[in-house]
């Protein structure tokens, strides 16, 4: 058995059996190993940003990391934008990046570059000097690291940069998985101190492991009995919700809206969340979005046992297990005629099957969050790192992870184009992904931000840098070019028909919604 096969067999033995791949010459032995180990499912993508975003979506749904298989520095570089999002989501993820043999590096062949520097931008664990003898155990160390909570994270990105001679040389067999350390429990003193202060002027902010359904319930119990409000951070990696689940809002996006939403709060309790901060710096706007005079208490940091701390908090407050506000089933009224972001959201809520997964990106998708909570059980995977082009790839990963659930990718037209290649993998793997493009022919957020500079009239040359018309993107042609059925709609009736047709047919579909 060579090093490549020892690595693949070790991963499979440890339950890591999906690999999102865009290999090159230096990964041919790994491809050969994948060929020899049928338990490893390899999913080909046409662009590495799809690999990394899919691995992120997969792990958010499964809790188990997927592998990416990438080709030297440029292959890793193409995946970094979505690795950035995965890092912010605290997703466990393992990059396997092929490299030259180390003895070949000094020749400075064309594809040579300092891969470690690229990996460092997104990875908490890097190893780049494996030999065939160590490769399997290095893989298991990468897995352990990916599942180890660190400050501010429930999981992390491990990058195993593999010299090709470690793949082709003889190995010593498979390695066994290593158990990740359990996150430390929060002491009773800290929980008690927070319980004693929690009141109607308090807010509990959830993120990371504080987002799980059980943790949401415990937070809602604590909030209900104490009068404290419970919120999600602005971009929670994953939320599960629907009728019967706690009614919890997300913090808004713009800093002035966050501050308005928190006005009057005297105590902020962080459960797996960081202190809210402004997404960007603006003149005359604070970075930290904490009302004046508000004390910030950390109930549990991202590397602590957040869920248990919330359960302990609820217990410390003798909170009953019922009585907190929950999402009620609501009816949706998408209206008729001209399509709007709101009517698309209503149609989605009206038609979504139970258990649907929504992968949001930028654009109008977020408008569907609230309506879907009233419609059926749902999971949302949000854009965590601000790097657009996540939604389509994340939908690929979610659909591979959960083939029995309907997946929706809700994408802005601009955002979708960074990783439009995701459609091809959806077609190849026959994934139940419905992509909705909120097509307003502009980078809408940029026009908004530009006006926030105090500009009232946007000059032609600036406007051209936000404008996505000239030429209009035709998403149904793009979809068909990659083997996905695509439809353009501009009325509620047409959108609703396209949606019901897509759901009935199954498999991948794209619906462009002119909003």
Site for a second copy in 320-359 (CB under 8 A): none
| Residues near 267 by beta carbon (within 8 Å), at least 6 away in sequence | 197, 198, 199, 201, 202, 203, 228, 294, 295, 297
Interior angle at CA 424, CA 422 and CA 427, nearest 5: 115
Given 384, 406, 435, 439, the residue binding a second copy (CB under 8 A): 384
What is the C-alpha to C-alpha distance for residues 89 and 92, in angstroms, rounded to an integer? Answer: 9
Binder of a second copy out of 117, 176, 192, 333 (CB under 8 A) = 117
Decide: 379 and 238 in contact? Cβ < 8 Å. Answer: yes
Strands 229-232 and 378-381 come out as unpaired
Q: How far is the CB of 306 from a second copy (least distance, A)?
A: 18
**Among positions 128, 144, 278, 340, the unique one binding a second copy when judged by CB under 8 A:** 278
- Which residues ranging from 390 to 449 are in contact with a second copy (CB under 8 A)? 414, 417-418, 420-421, 424, 427-428, 445-446, 449
Site residues for a second copy, window 130-169 (CB under 8 A)? Answer: 164-165, 168
Among 42, 149, 198, 349, which residue interacts with a second copy (rule: CB under 8 A)?
Answer: 42
Cβ-based nearer residue to a second copy, 47 or 495:
47
Q: How far is the CB of 162 from a second copy (least distance, A)?
A: 12
Should residue 478 be labelled a site residue for a second copy when binding is judged by CB under 8 A? yes
Please state at what angle helix 391-401 crosses helix 48-62, rounded to 10 degrees: 50
Closer of 103 and 321 to a second copy (Cβ): 103
349 versus 514: smaller Cβ distance to a second copy: 514
Interface segment toward a second copy; rule CB under 8 A; list 5-13, 180-188, 348-356, 475-483? 475-483
Closest separation in Å from C-beta 32 to a second copy: 6
Q: How far is the CB of 77 from a second copy (least distance, A)?
A: 4
Nearer to a second copy, 317 or 420 (CB): 420
Q: Where are the beta strands (DSSP E) in 253-373?
A: 267-271, 295-300, 356-360
Nearer of residues 77 and 503 to a second copy, judged by Cβ = 77
Which C-beta is closer to a second copy: that of 14 or that of 31?
Answer: 31
Give the count of residues interacting with a second copy (CB under 8 A): 98
Q: Give the three-class secondary structure for 270.
A: strand
Strands 157-163 vs 249-250: parallel, antiparallel or unpaired: unpaired
Nearer to a second copy, 113 or 197 (CB): 113
Which residue in the set 121, 176, 192, 333 belongs to the binding site for a second copy (CB under 8 A)?
A: 121
Q: Which two tokens stand for residue 444?
A: 């809408």
Helix, strand and coil in the chain, % to nearest 5: 40, 20, 40
Contact between 504 and 478 (Cβ < 8 Å): no
Cβ neighbourhood burial of 74 (10 Å; 0-12, 13-18, 19+): middle
The least CB distance from residue 2 to a second copy, in Å, is: 10
Q: Which of positions 228-267 make contact with a second copy (CB under 8 A)?
A: 235
Whether the ω angle into residue 205 lies within 30 degrees of 0, i.e. cis, is: no
Distances (CA, A) of 98 to 68, 145, 182, 483: 11, 19, 31, 30
- Rule CB under 8 A: choose which of 228, 299, 401, 482 binds a second copy: 482
Binder of a second copy out of 9, 60, 88, 405 (CB under 8 A): 88
Buried b (16+ CB within 10 A) or exposed e, 124-142: bbbbbebebebbbbbbbbb
Binding residues for a second copy restricted to 450-469, rule: CB under 8 A: 450, 453, 455, 458-462, 464-465, 467-468
Q: Which of 3, 49, 246, 302 binds a second copy (CB under 8 A)?
A: 49
At its nearest, how many Å lie between a second copy and the CB of residue 412? Answer: 12
- Tell which one of 182, 263, 331, 470 touches a second copy (CB under 8 A): 470
Smallest distance, a second copy to C-beta of residue 15, A? 19
503 is a site residue for a second copy (CB under 8 A)? no
Whether the CB-CB separation of 305 and 185 falls below 8 Å is answered with yes
Beta bridge partners of 69: 21, 96
Task: Give the x-and-dash track for 211-230 against a second copy (CB under 8 A).
Answer: --------------------
Of 116 and 201, which has the nearer Cβ to a second copy? Answer: 116
Q: Is 111 in the site for a second copy (CB under 8 A)?
A: yes
Residues in Cβ contact with 509 at an 8 Å cutoff, skipping those fewer than 6 apart:
433, 434, 435, 479, 484, 485, 486, 487, 498, 501, 502
Listing DSSP states for 186-243 in one string gives PPHHHHHHHHHH--TTEEEEE-GGGGSHHHHHHHHHHHHHH--EEEE-SS-SEEEE-T
Here's the x/- map for a second copy, 167-186, by CB under 8 A: it reads as -x------------------
Residue 274 binds a second copy, judged by CB under 8 A:
yes
């Amino acid at each position: 058995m060579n090093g490549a096969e020892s690595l693949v067999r070790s991963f499979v033995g440890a339950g890591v059996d999906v690999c999102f791949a865009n290999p090159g010459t230096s990964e041919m032995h790994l491809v050969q190993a994948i060929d020899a180990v049928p338990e490893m499912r390899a999913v080909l993508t046409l662009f590495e940003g799809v690999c990394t975003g899919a691995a992120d979506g997969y792990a958010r749904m499964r809790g188990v990391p997927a592998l990416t298989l990438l080709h030297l520095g440029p292959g890793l570089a193409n995946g970094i934008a979505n690795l950035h999002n995965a890092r912010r989501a605290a997703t466990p993820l393992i990059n396997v990046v092929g490299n030259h043999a180390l003895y070949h590096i000094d020749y400075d062949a064309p594809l040579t570059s300092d891969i470690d520097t690229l990996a460092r931008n997104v990875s908490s664990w890097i190893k780049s000097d494996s030999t065939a003898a160590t490769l399997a155990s290095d893989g298991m160390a990468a897995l352990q690291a990916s599942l180890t909570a660190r400050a501010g994270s429930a999981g992390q990105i491990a990058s195993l940069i593999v010299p090709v001679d470690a793949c082709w040389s003889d190995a010593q067999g498979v390695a066994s998985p290593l158990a990740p350390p359990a996150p430390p429990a929060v002491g009773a003193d800290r929980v008690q101190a927070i319980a004693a202060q929690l009141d109607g002027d308090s807010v509990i902010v959830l993120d990371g492991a504080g987002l799980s359904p059980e943790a949401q319930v415990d937070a809602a119990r604590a909030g209900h009995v104490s009068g404290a409000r419970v919120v999600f951070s602005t971009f929670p990696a994953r939320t599960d919700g629907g009728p019967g689940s706690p009614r919890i809002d997300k913090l808004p996006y713009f800093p002035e809206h966050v501050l308005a939403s928190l006005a009057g709060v005297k105590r902020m309790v962080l459960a797996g969340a960081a202190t809210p901060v402004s997404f960007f710096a603006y003149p005359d706007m604070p970075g930290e979005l904490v009302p004046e005079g508000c004390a910030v208490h950390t109930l549990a940091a991202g590397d602590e046992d957040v869920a248990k701390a919330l359960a302990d908090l609820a217990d410390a407050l003798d909170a009953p297990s019922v009585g907190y506000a929950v999402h009620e089933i609501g009816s949706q009224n998408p209206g008729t005629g001209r399509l709007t972001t709101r009517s698309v959201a209503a149609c989605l809520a009206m038609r979504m099957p139970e258990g649907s997964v929504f992968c949001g990106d930028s654009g109008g998708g977020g408008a569907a969050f609230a309506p879907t909570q009233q419609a059926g059980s749902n999971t949302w995977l949000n854009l965590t790192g601000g790097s657009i082009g996540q939604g389509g790839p994340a939908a690929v990963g979610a659909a591979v992870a959960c083939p029995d659930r309907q997946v929706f990718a809700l994408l802005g037209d601009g955002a979708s184009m960074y990783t439009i290649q995701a459609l091809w993998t959806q077609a190849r793997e026959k994934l139940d992904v419905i992509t909705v493009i909120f097509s307003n022919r502009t980078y809408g957020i940029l026009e908004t931000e530009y006006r926030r500079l105090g500009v009232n009239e946007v000059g032609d040359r600036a406007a051209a840098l936000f404008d996505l018309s000239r030429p209009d993107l035709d998403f149904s042609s793009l979809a068909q070019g990659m083997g996905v059925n695509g439809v353009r709609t501009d009325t509620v009736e047409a959108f609703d028909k396209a949606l019901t047709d897509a759901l009935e047919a199954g498999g991948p579909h794209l619906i462009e919604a002119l909003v």
